[in-house]
Amino acid sequence: MQATNSHTAAQMLTQTTVYSHPTITKLTDFVVALVADPKNFLIASNRVNAIESMVDKYKAGLPKSILEGRNARPTDGLVVLLTGSTGNLGAQLLASLLLDQKVKLVYTLDRPSLASISLEER
């Protein structure tokens, strides 16, 4: 059985596998999961499933009011999720969004700062 799994897994490795998993840990985790159960790995690697899994992971801890309205379309303005708002381009996009009358709410996902100033001050 293990030889069959290894053969199936080997067929799924592509030229971009190393680039898609750029650290030893990420590559090892990918290969181990792939060899352990390649048939179920195919299902889990489906892009829609991956996106839904990520949403489930990152919605943990959000206020209930946000989660209740996630399928509803805002009627009084756009709600935007912005990543990378601490960079140059991201900061410019954030400023534009905050000035846009069509935008009701902006959520930003940012890495913790190593600097001593707060994100709000930046």
Share of residues in the chain with pLDDT > 70 (%)? 64
Q: pTM to 2 decimals?
A: 0.36
Q: 104, 78 in Cβ contact below 8 A?
A: yes
Average pLDDT of the residues of the chain: 75
Which CA distances in Å does 8 have to 22, 35, 58, 63?
Answer: 22, 8, 32, 43
The two structure tokens encoding residue 53: 């899994």
Q: What is the pLDDT of residues 18-35, one digit of tens each?
A: 777 788 888 888 888 888
Confidence of residue 46 (pLDDT cuts 50, 70, 90): low
Alpha helices in 1-122 (DSSP H): 2-12, 17-20, 24-36, 38-44, 47-59, 64-68, 88-99
At residue 97, the pLDDT reads 92
> Where along the chain do its domains lie?
2-45, 71-109
107: helix, strand or coil: strand
Q: What is the pLDDT of residues 47-86, one digit of tens each?
A: 666 777 777 787 777 766 655 655 555 567 888 899 888 8
Place of tokens 């140059």: 88
- Stretch (H or E) spanning 78: strand 78-83
Average pLDDT of the segment spanning 91-108: 91
Place of tokens 């400023």: 95
